[in-house]
Structure 1
Amino acid sequence: MSTSRTTFPFPTSDAAFEAEQEERQLALEYLADAWNAADSDGVDKQALAHAALFAAIATLVDDYGEESVANLIGEIPERVSNGEYTLNRVLQ
């Protein structure tokens, strides 16, 4: 069985990287607004998280295919353990 690398597009220049970061920040702000509105309406945070994960994974699968997304998701446990998804963490 051969393993393949995730084939997600990555920026190839500093300008492209900066533009992608700005786009991601804007997207995160939109998601935060929607999240806060749903939370204010009493939607359970776990339900929001599951719906957000489902929507994100389904979109990535549609764009990049199941194998690439499965490879990407396979990297998440280590990244979580390394604190990459921990908000308000203290770096020493």
Structure 2
Amino acid sequence: MTTTKSMFSPASGLGPFDREQSERQLALEYLAEAWNHAEDDGLESAALAHASLFAALATFVKLHGDEATADLIAMLPDRIRSGEYNLDRVLQ
């Protein structure tokens, strides 16, 4: 598998990843590679983002149910506003 620099790379200065973090990072690298190929084929980032959100939410509903997924999603506004999903933020 050849990969380019992932847009989802972790911030520098983080300590060693535990197993779960390593698995999530590897999953992000796979997704970034697929994302890059889709963009190379002409798909817009917004379309990819919408499709990714749908696939992620459908998977969470299948694995954990409607209520647990809704509870997870209810926490997202605060996490987004705090910069947790901002790839350009600088951690000190």
User: What's the TM-score once normalised by structure 1's chain length?
Assistant: 0.78
Percent of paired sites with the same residue? 61
| 1:87 match: secondary structure | coil
* Cα distance in structure 1, aligned partners of 2:65 and 2:91: 35
Structure having the higher helix fraction is 1
Aligned counterpart, 2:30 = 30
Per-residue deviation at 1:81?
A: 0.3
**What is the CA–CA distance in structure 2 between the aligned matches of 1:91 and 1:50, rounded to whole Å?**
27
What are the within-5 Å matches in structure 2 for residues 15-54 of structure 1?
Answer: 18-54=18-54
Structure 1 gap ranges (5+): 1-16
Q: Is 1:55 equivalent to 2:70 in the alignment?
A: no
CA distance in 2, matches of 1:29, 1:90: 21
Match of 2:79 in 1: 79
Where does residue 8 of structure 1 map in the other structure?
A: none
Shift in Å, 1:18: 1.1
TM-score of the two chains, using structure 2 as the length reference: 0.78
Q: CA RMSD in A?
A: 1.3
Q: Distance in 2 between matches of 1:67 and 1:37?
A: 34
**Which ranges in structure 2 are unaligned for 5 or more consecutive residues?**
1-16
The amino acid across from 1:45 in the alignment is S
Task: Give the match's secondary structure for 2:18.
Answer: helix
* Larger RCO (alpha carbons 8 Å, 6+ apart): 1
The one-letter code sitting in structure 1 at the alignment partner of 2:65 is G
| Partner deviation per Cα, 1:46-90 (whole Å, 9 max, x = no partner) | 100000000000000000000000000000000000000001213
**Based on CA coordinates, which of the two structures has the bigger radius of gyration?**
1
The number of aligned residues is 76
Q: Aligned AA for 1:38?
A: A
Deviation above 4 Å: which 4+ runs of structure 1? none
